[in-house]
Amino acid sequence: MFEDFNAKIEQAAIVPVVKVSVIEDALSVAKALCSGGLGAIEITFRTTEGEEGYSKISECIKAVRDSFPDMLVGAGTVINASLAAKAVAAGAQFIVSPGFNPNTVDFCLEKSVPMYPGVCNPSQIEAALEKNLSLLKFFPAEECGGLKMIKTLSGPFPTVKFMATGGINEQNAASYLACPSIAAVGGSWMVKESFIKSKDWQAIASLSESAAKIIKLM
């Protein structure tokens, strides 16, 4: 399922995971990522401000989607169907969750929105396959055994590909992307909160350019 969009994720290869709640900052981050050569962004619903915080993040998703039509714009940390609904309403093209929540998955399937639930064990992968999902987020990647675990899981699940997230950085991204079972990696090393707080868009652009070079070597 979602084969066409899965191919776009695989082509993007690196999905920057961004925590942002101010529209101007979100647009600046997206511009820096694009200028560095990265074509995707995952804006996360990470906030302690409740509904007000979720609304701000939704506005960021919408602003980036409207201003960067050629960019793959997704929503991350979507932990329930309610957040999935907010993300879809904001224009998110894909949904990423840290775990496997059947209600969230079912909502996205009903809306025909590409969904990449988090998995880290065989039971969760089997649950995803029951929903006809074959590209899954492997999270938290490094803490759950990294490439060794992914290669082990690929034995019984040869048709599954993973978007590895959690502990991925400039030093190990290439190793992950070289694995046939990896479609893409997610990471925040080029979009650290400190960069956004200090509005150091050049740092984001420079690290994005370095990340894009990793993709070109694959």
Give the active site residues. 42, 137
Within a 13 Å sphere around the CA of 153, how many CA atoms are in the beta-carbon half? 28
The stretches of the chain forming alpha helices (DSSP H) are 3-12, 23-36, 50-67, 81-90, 102-111, 122-130, 146-153, 173-177, 193-198, 201-217
Spatial distance between the Cα atoms of 103 and 79, rounded to a whole number of angstroms: 10
Q: Is 193:203 a contact under the CB 8 Å cutoff?
A: no
Q: Measure the CA angle with vertex 79, ends 11 and 190; round to 5°.
A: 45
Does residue 194 contact residue 18 with C-beta atoms inside 8 Å?
no
Sign of the CA dihedral with 172 first, then 105, 41, and 98 last? negative
Q: Are 23 and 60 in contact (CB under 8 A)?
A: yes
